[in-house]
Chains A and B, each alone.
Chain A
């Protein structure tokens, strides 16, 4: 299947700093990418749908000013967690939409101290 990468795989940052996570589709172009958040031992929660060349669509309850999403090219979407706080610590997973399925990245574990 198609390959989606995420960078970094792990990041530890201080409270108040911003962190950028990259999601790349390596062997296909994706006009739509998704960002999910997963709490320990919980399911994936869709945060937003990222559309190339346009604004992201955020799910209810997700702060768009807190979680900035940019999808500047057909192979790259970025999620920036601004002014991170310990409660933002989580596992963030992106996916890229293919013809019949979403292809998932390996995830980024964010720890905010």
Chain B
């Protein structure tokens, strides 16, 4: 049973870069052919898909965030990461990492989520 766990700072100052890591256990990112997603949820609002990365490193980002987002994968550590630059209060949300079985499937396993607040 795969498990995902987000980690990173819970507080980020405006204009800085938000950096989060997702550690995958119960399976190897490098040996499996899954896609790995980041999704966020501002309080009381709908879920927003940020983007996804494949084990090869290929990425696909939400155009609304593309200029500020980058994702990477470290198969040796079974981790993948998210960076979101120039954050504002509008980026305050619970951030989830998740797994997709293929590039044409929904997210079937999710981390518990991490609340990131953008504030000075």
Q: Do A and B come from one complex?
A: no
Mark A residues whose CB is within 8 Å of B.
Answer: none
